[in-house]
Chains A and B, each alone.
Chain A
Amino acid sequence: MNKSSIVKIHNALVVTLQGEIDDRTALELQQEILQSVIRYQVSGVVIEISQLDLVDSYMARILSETARMIKLMGAETFLAGLRPMVAVTIVEMGLNIDGVKTALNLEVALEVLKGGR
């Protein structure tokens, strides 16, 4: 079951991806994130994925597309908290999520966003 959440913290949207996310749910979440950027007028989005135990090619594509869409809308995206073994798998598979800024964890991502760079 999908247990993801979207909340506003300071000037950023914090999206926590959690639980079992099937492909359709991932697309629905993408739409929700984009709409929340407008609704809350944030300049940054942090997608926190430390609870995700796998990122396959579909999820990788959704994540990088979401970041590109948010950029087009004028906000900045950080992917935060990628698990070590998930990072290993992404690299071994050769999945491309270049162009997505990453942060070690949520705190670091919010700090960087607050610093305004």
Chain B
Amino acid sequence: MSNRIDIRNESDVVVARQIARQVASQMGFSLGDQTRITTAVSELARNIFLYAKQGWIEYQEITLGVRGRGIEFIFQDQGPGIPDVELALTVGYTSGNGMGMGLSGTKRLMDEFDIKSSPGKGATIRIVRWLNK
């Protein structure tokens, strides 16, 4: 059963990170992990707003045998997509005027990170953080 957050304007990015912190804290994530998760959500939600104008986030608690409990966020949009994923993940690469550290930084903060994108059809980015390391 997943929950959904719509991203349509800048203030939705703030809403997304508030919800992320609340969910992470309720699940019992450490303060460090709450900060990592909230920061990752802030980056990816902003990217939706900046590069695809609008999209949505689905999130849910997941359980996987050996890994135990975790939190999963899936960021989806129907914007221009990410034609060269490797380039987008390059530290410092930005097509706008950002720092170019959002995707690479988020990848470092999370346990799982993957991008699916077909040009012209939008992007889907999935992140997971496991409760127990």
Contact = CB atoms under 8 A, between A and B. Distances in A.
Contacts of A53: 21, 35, 38
Contact of A93 (B13, B18, B31, B105): B105
Interface string A25-54: 000000000000000000000000000011
Contact of A54 (B11, B17, B98, B105): B17
B11 A22 contact: yes
A114 interface: no
Contact of B14 (A22, A57, A86): A22
Contacts of B43: 56-57
B39 A54 contact: yes
A53 B25 CA distance: 13
A94 B105 contact: yes
Interface string B3-44: 000000011011001100100000000011011101100110
Given A53-B21, A57-B105, A23 B35 contact: no
Contacts of A55: 39
Contact of B99 (A20, A24, A61, A86): A61
Interface in B77-117: 91, 98-99, 101-102, 104-106, 108-109
Given A20-B18, A54-B17, A60 B10 contact: no
A21 B46 CA distance: 13
Given A54-B17, A57-B43, A94-B104, A22 B10 contact: yes
B38 A20 contact: no
B45 to A, nearest CB: 10
B31 to A, nearest CB: 5
A11 interface: no
Contacts of B42: 54, 56, 58
A88 interface: yes
Interface of A: 20-24, 53-58, 60-61, 83, 85-86, 88-89, 92-96
Interface of B: 10-11, 13-14, 17-18, 21, 31-32, 34-36, 38-39, 42-43, 46, 91, 98-99, 101-102, 104-106, 108-109
13 contacts: A22-B10, A22-B14, A23-B46, A53-B21, A56-B46, A58-B42, A58-B99, A61-B99, A85-B34, A89-B39, A93-B109, A95-B105, A96-B101
